Structure 1
Amino acid sequence: MYALVDAVAFYASAEKVFDPAIRSKPVVVLTNNDGCVCAICPIARRLNIPKFQPYFKVKHLLAKHKVIVRSSNYELYADLSDRMMNVISRFCDKQYIYSIDESFLHFTGFTPLINDWHQYGHLIRRTVWRETKLPVGVGFGSTPTLAKAANHAAKKLKGFNGVAVIDNEQARLRILAAMDVADIWGVGKRLAKKLKQLHINSALDLAKQDPLQMKRLFNVVLARTVDELNGRTCLEWDEVRQDKREIFSTRSFGERLTDPTVLKTALINHCTIVARKLRLQRSLTKRLLLFVASSPHELNAYKKSLVYELPTSSADSCVFANAISEVFAQLYQQNVRFYKCGVGALELSSQQFQQSDLFTPNKNNIKLMKCLDSVNARYGSNTLALASQQQSQAWHMKREFLSPQYTTRWLHLPKISCNL
């Protein structure tokens, strides 16, 4: 048996964890630079607030209904995600974290101990709520795709209270018949449109198709989905997640930039993020991709990128920062209102298998990077940083409605006052 456990409107629910005053109020969360609505809590959904609409278009609607607006607090979300996944992991043999708020569970040794899957699902929900104050939905199925369908039913279909189980033919037919084909895991809107032209409108309609015909008409992935909907397991996940082959750090600015110092600071901050991620998966790179760009809607749009070849493979933040200083003049152009920049590490190699060059000095300071990472891991991100990272703060994202980072900053710890 498989299960899928995911949080209900995770970003919006996370905002309520440390702020009980807004738990009974409508809450929405905005994307980067407070651009669009990306998360809507169940209370706010009743107000028919459209998702992924630009904030300026729905600003008056939100104000009219006294909706609480929050900027994306990624530090808080990441920490709460870790806590939620740790709680969920206690209920299964194997866990696969699919996204920041979704986790697949696989039951083998646990199965003989579970008499009622509905009760077990509610036990998971109660435990996660008690220990993290995050509401979750739980779906059980004999395949990962059926577990995903059951999870959809648990949260979206009537007659389910946060838990749904597909463990017999009657339950399978009932839930799949009530699901639109676009709601099936891995189908999506474009493919659903093509399927509906073939009169395949529901998940049950797709389950009744011949897998070989779906493979011929579409692809092998859809054929496997058909098998999974009929209880034949085809999808598996790796026990060990593969290392990334490329690592990027990019972000648009909260406001247009023209100052070269501010732009250079932003690039150096991105390069330190890339270097830290490289060290985390014990990888090195010899090629850095650097780019800067104005908005494509500018009258004279500007975009410039270049690849910097490092003398030796590296994951050293100082080496990367020096590389940016060396080529920055080639990227910057006066009178350009910069909108975005980024750094990418290409053609990654393992730190374990490296051939040293007898004639090229190695500038990597491994001990310094270990010290930097250990201090930041213990005391919080950017407790120690390169001096060139701190030249300006003007490049940061626009987050006017940012809530406190309750779990990652000492100054933001919740305070309790007791009056005796």
Structure 2
Amino acid sequence: MYALVDAVAFYASAEKVFDPSIRKRPVVVLTNNDGCICAVSPEARALNIPKFEPYFKLRHLLNKHNVVVRSSNYELYADLSTRMMEVIGRFSDSQYIYSIDESFLQFTGFAALVKDWHQYGHDIRKAVWREIKLPVGVGFGITPTLAKAANHAAKKLEGYNGVAVIDDIPSAKAILSRMKVTDIWGIGKRLGQKLALMGINDAWTLAKQSPKHMRKQFSVVVERTIEELNGHICLSWDEVKSPKQEIYSTRSFGERVTNINDLKGSLATHCATVGKKLRQQASLTHRVVIFAHSSPYEDNFYKRSYLYDFPVPTNDSRVIANAMNEVLSLLYSEGVRYYKAGVGALELVSERYIQADLFSTSADNKTLMQSMDKINHRFGKGTIKLASEQQSKGWSMRREFLSPRYTTRWSDIPRINCCD
């Protein structure tokens, strides 16, 4: 048996953890630079507030309904995610953290101890709420795909109240027949449109198709999805989430950047981020793309990008930053109001299987990078950084509605006043 546990509107719910005064109020969370709405609490969803719409277009509607608006508080979300995953992990002998708010569980030895999966799901929900104050949905299934479908039912279909179980054909039909085909894990919008032309509009109809025939029509992914919907396990943890083939770090500026030093500082920060992500998944990059551009909505739109090839693949942040420094003069143009910049690592290879070059020596310092990562992990992001990273906050993203970082900043730790 598998389970998928994830938080309900995680970002919005996280904003309510340390602020009980907004627990029952509608809450929305904005993307970088307070641009668009990226998370909507159930109360806000009931007001038909859409996601991924620009904040300025909905400001009047949000004010009308007294909606709480928050900027993305990534530090808080990451810490609450870690705590939530620790609680969830106690309920299984195998856990796979799929994303910041999703965790797969696999039950082998634990399965013999569970007498009622529905009750076990509610026990998980109660534990997470009691210790973290985050609402979660729990879906159980005999394959990872069915667990994902059950989780969808637990949170979005009437009658399941936070927990759903798919452990036989009747329970599978009851849920899959009420799900759109695009609600199934791995079935995107374009594929859903093609399936609709074949009369396949719901998940149960998809499950009844011939896997081999659908593989010929589409791909092996669709074949495996159908097999999983029928209770045949085709996915392993490694297949659920494989290492990224490309890694990017990019962000729009809080204020327009016109100075070359500010642009350099921003790009150096992105280089450091890309290097860290490469090391986290034990990858090296043969090539990076470095780019910057002005706003497409302003006159004289300007965009430049350059590819830089490394003689020896690298994941050292210093080496990547040096590459950026070599092309900076080609990237920068006097008078341009830069709106966005970033760095992308391309042509990734595994650090474990890289073939050394007899004539080219790597400039990487693995010991130094490991030390930097450990210090930043222990004492907080940015404790140690590259000298070229920007110290000024002028280009940093705009977060006008940022809540306190209750668990990661000493000055923001909640204070409790006890009265006699």
TM over 0.5: yes
How many angstroms apart in 2 are the aligned matches of 1:242 and 1:199? 32
For 1:405, what is the secondary structure of its paired residue? coil
Determine the C-alpha separation between the residues in 2 that align with 1:240 and 1:151.
16
The 3 A distance-change label for structure 1 pair 351 and 190 is closer
The Cα of 1:347 is off from its aligned counterpart by: 3.8
Contact 1:262 1:391 in 2 (8 A): no
Contact 1:73–1:402, Cα closer than 8 Å, also in 2: yes
1:186 matched to which residue of 2?
A: 186
In structure 1, the partner of 2:250 is: 250
C-alpha separation between the residues in 2 aligned to 1:55 and 1:272? 30
**CA deviation after TM superposition for structure 1 residue 270, in Å:** 0.8
Query: Residues 14-69 of structure 1: CA distance to partner in whole angstroms, max 9, x if unpaired?
Result: 11111112111110111121111111111111111112111111111000111000
Q: Is the 8 A contact 2:155 2:161 kept in 1?
A: yes
User: Structure 1 residues 331, 141: CA separation in 2 closer, same or farther (over 3 Å shift)?
Assistant: same
Aligned with 1:307: secondary structure?
strand
> Structure 1 residue 220: deviation in Å?
2.4
Mean Cα deviation higher: 1-10 or 391-400? 391-400
- Other structure's SS at 2:336 match: coil
User: How far has the Cα of 1:108 moved from its partner?
Assistant: 1.6
Residues 139-171 of structure 1 deviation map (CA, whole Å, 9 limit, x = unaligned): 111112221111111111111110111123322
Residues paired across the two proteins, number: 419
Q: CA deviation at 1:325?
A: 3.0
**Which residue of structure 1 lines up, in the alignment, with residue 28 of structure 2?**
28
| Counterpart for residue 345 of structure 1 | 345
Contact 1:284–1:349 (CA under 8 A) maintained in structure 2: yes
Call closer, same or farther: CA 1:149–1:239 in 2, change over 3 Å: closer
- Equivalent position amino acid for 2:171 in 1: A
1:96-130, Cα deviation, whole Å (9 max, x unpaired): 22221111211121111111111100011111111
Find the aligned partners of 2:349 and 2:210 in 1 and give their Cα distance: 43
| C-alpha displacement of 1:323 | 3.5
Residue 323 (1) aligns with residue 323 (2):
yes
Is 2:166 aligned against 1:169?
Answer: no
How much has 1:316 moved relative to structure 2? 3.6
Q: Report the counterpart of residue 126 of structure 1 in structure 2.
A: 126
Deviates more, 1:330-339 or 1:246-255: 246-255
AA of the residue aligned to 2:128: V
Structure 1 segment 269-418 matched on structure 2, within 5 A:
269-285=269-285, 287-310=287-310, 313-349=313-349, 355=356, 364-418=364-418
Superposed displacement of residue 269, structure 1: 0.9
> Aligned partners of 1:216 and 1:314: how far apart in 2?
39
Q: How big is the alpha-carbon RMSD for the aligned residues of Structure 1 and Structure 2?
A: 2.4
Residue type matched to 1:132 in 2?
I
Pair 1:130–1:273, CA change in 2 (3 A): same
- SS of corresponding position for 2:90: helix
Change in Cα spacing, 1:230 to 1:369, as seen in structure 2 (3 Å) is closer
Residue 234 (structure 2) pairs with residue 234 (structure 1)? yes
Deviation string for 1:294-346 (max 9, x for gaps)? Answer: 22333322221223345655444344334333331111001212111112233
Q: Distance in 2 between matches of 1:159 and 1:277?
A: 41
> CA separation in 1, counterparts of 2:275 and 2:283?
9
Cα–Cα, structure 1 residues 321 and 233, in superposed 2: closer, same or farther, change >3 Å?
closer
* Bigger mean CA deviation after superposition, 141-150 or 180-189: 180-189
Contact 1:261 1:391 (C-alpha < 8 Å) held by counterparts: no
1:60 aligns to 2:92 (yes or no): no
Kindly indicate whether the alpha-carbon contact (under 8 Å) linking 1:261 and 1:392 is maintained by their aligned counterparts in 2: no
Partner in structure 2 of residue 142 of structure 1: 142
Looking at structure 1, the residues matched to 286 and 202 of structure 2 have their Cα atoms a distance apart, in angstroms, of 49
Letter in 2 for 1:101: D
187-196 or 257-266, larger mean C-alpha shift = 187-196
Q: Which residue of 2 aligns with 1:260?
A: 260
Number of the residue aligned with 2:76: 76
Structure 2 residue 102 is matched with structure 1 residue 110: no
Between the two proteins, what is the percent identity of the paired residues?
63
Gaps of 5+ in 1: none
Gaps in structure 2 of 5+ consecutive residues: none
Q: Which amino acid aligns with 2:405?
A: Q
Which residue matches 2:15?
Answer: 15
Contact map agreement 1:228 1:234 (CA 8 A) in 2: yes
Counting only pairs closer than 5 Å after superposition, residues 218-233 of structure 1 correspond to structure 2 as 218-233=218-233
